[in-house]
Amino acid sequence: MIQTARENIIKDIIRGVAITIVIFVVVVYMPFPGFLCSLFIPLPILYYRSKLGRKTGMIIPVAAIFIMIVMTGRVNIQIFFFFELLLLGFILGELIEMDVSIEKTFLYTCSVVMFAGVASLIFYSNISNTNIVSLVSEYVAKNIDFTMAMYRDMDVSEESMQMLSGLLESIHYVLIRIIPAMVIASTLFVIWVNLLLAMPVLRRQNLFCSDFGHLNLWKAPDFFVWGVIGAGVMLLFPVNTFKLLGLNALIIFMTVYFFAGIAVISFYFEKNRFPVIIRVFLYSIIALQQLIQLLVVGLGFFDIWLNFRKLEIKKSSS
C-alpha cells in the first residue's frame, strides 16, 4: 500500500515536470503558439502543488527550472521569465490552500511575483555585467522584432508594415517607460487565466479549491474610481514624469476593469444560457479585437453606477 502510494507520487512528479518542459519547449522553439502556451506554464505547478502538497509539489518547479537551464546551456533572462511563471503557479496553490479571498489571491500573488522579478533582474544584471535599463531595452526590442515577424507571417500589407517600421523608435521609447504597468497587467492576466482553468479541474479531481463564489458577480471596488480619476489628472500635467506615472496607473486600472467587464458579460451569457460554442466564439472576438476590449473595460467601469446585473436589488429582494 505504501509502496503503491510512493509510486503514484513519483509518477505525478514525472508527469508534472514533463508537462512543464513540453510547454517550455513549445514556447522556445515555436514562437507564435508558444506565446499563447506560456500563459499555461503555471497551471501544472498549481495543480500538482494542490495534489501533492507543499514539500513534494515544490520538487516539480525546481526540477523543471534545472532542466530548462541544462537545455538552454546557460542562465539567461528567459529562464528568469519562466521562473516567475513557475513561482506564480506555486504561490497560487499556496493561497488556494489558505482559502483567502479572490482579491487577496490576486494581490498577494502579483506582489510576490513582482518582488521576485525585480530581484531576479537585479541578480541577472550583476552576473551579466549589464545595467538594468539596457536589459529592459534589449528585451523590449526583441519583443518588437518578434511582433513585426508575426505580422509578416500574418501577411499584413506592405504599407502597414512600412508605417509600423517608421514608428518603431517611438514605440520602443514608450514601451520601456510603461513596462512596469505592462508587467503587472500581464501578471494579473496570467493569474486570471490560470485560476479560471484550475478551479474546475481541482473540483473535478476532488482537490480543495477556494470558494470564490460566482465570479461573474464580481465587481471592481468602488474606490478604484478615484484611482482612475487621479491617473487621468496626472496625464494632464505638463511634466513627463507625471504623465508616465498616470499612464502606468491607468493601464493597471484598465486591466482590473477589463476583468469586471468580462464578469458582466459572463453573467449575461449564463443568464441567457448561451451555448458553449457561441461563448467561445464571442470570447475569441474579444481577445482579438482591441476596440472591443476597450468596450469591455468601459462596461466594467460604468457598472459601478449603472449596475448592469442589478446586484443590490437581487440581494435586497432575497
What pLDDT, on a 0 to 100 scale, did the predictor assign at position 145? 75
Question: Quick one: 125 and 187 in the same domain?
Answer: yes
> Which grid coordinates belong to 60?
516539480
Question: Quick one: 304 and 197 in the same domain?
Answer: no
Question: Quick one: 185 and 305 in the same domain?
Answer: no
The reply to whether 134 falls in a domain is: no
The reply to whether 51 falls in a domain is: yes
What pLDDT, on a 0 to 100 scale, did the predictor assign at position 125? 83
How far apart are the C-alpha atoms of 292 and 180, rounded to whole Å? 24
The reply to whether 160 falls in a domain is: no
Question: Quick one: 24 and 91 in the same domain?
Answer: yes
The reply to whether 145 falls in a domain is: no
Question: Quick one: 185 and 287 in the same domain?
Answer: no
**Three-state secondary structure call for residue 318:** coil
What pLDDT, on a 0 to 100 scale, did the predictor assign at position 28? 80
DSSP secondary structure, 124-188, as one string? HHHHTT--HHHHHHHHHHHHHHHHHHHHHHTT--HHHHHHHHHHHHHHHHHHHHHHHHHHHHHHH
How far apart are the C-alpha atoms of 204 and 197, rounded to whole Å? 12
What pLDDT, on a 0 to 100 scale, did the predictor assign at position 316? 45
The reply to whether 6 falls in a domain is: yes
* Of 128, 16, 130, nearest in space to 65 by CA: 16
Question: Quick one: 193 and 308 in the same domain?
Answer: no
The reply to whether 161 falls in a domain is: no
Question: Quick one: 274 and 206 in the same domain?
Answer: no
> Which grid coordinates belong to 302?
460604468
What pLDDT, on a 0 to 100 scale, did the predictor assign at position 313? 52
pTM: 0.88
What domain range is 275 assigned to? 214-318
Question: Quick one: 201 and 304 in the same domain?
Answer: no
DSSP secondary structure, 14-75, as one string? HHHHHHHHHHHHHHHH-HHHHHHHGGGTHHHHHHHHHHH-HHHHTHHHHHHHHHHHHHHSS-
Question: Quick one: 226 and 192 in the same domain?
Answer: no
Low-confidence spans in the chain with pLDDT less than 50 = 315-318
Contacts of 94 (CB under 8 A, 6+ apart): 49, 54
Cα atoms in the 13 Å half-sphere on the side-chain side of 296: 22
What pLDDT, on a 0 to 100 scale, did the predictor assign at position 27? 84
The reply to whether 156 falls in a domain is: no
Phi, psi at residue 56, to the nearest 5°? -70, -40
DSSP collapsed to 3 states, 250-311: HHHHHHHHHHHHHHHHHHHHHHCCCCHHHHHHHHHHHHHCHHHHHHHHHHHHHHHHHCCCCH
Question: Quick one: 109 and 84 in the same domain?
Answer: yes
Domains held by the chain: number: 2
How far apart are the C-alpha atoms of 232 and 215, rounded to whole Å? 28
Question: Quick one: 261 and 203 in the same domain?
Answer: no
How far apart are the C-alpha atoms of 262 and 112, rounded to whole Å? 25
The reply to whether 139 falls in a domain is: no
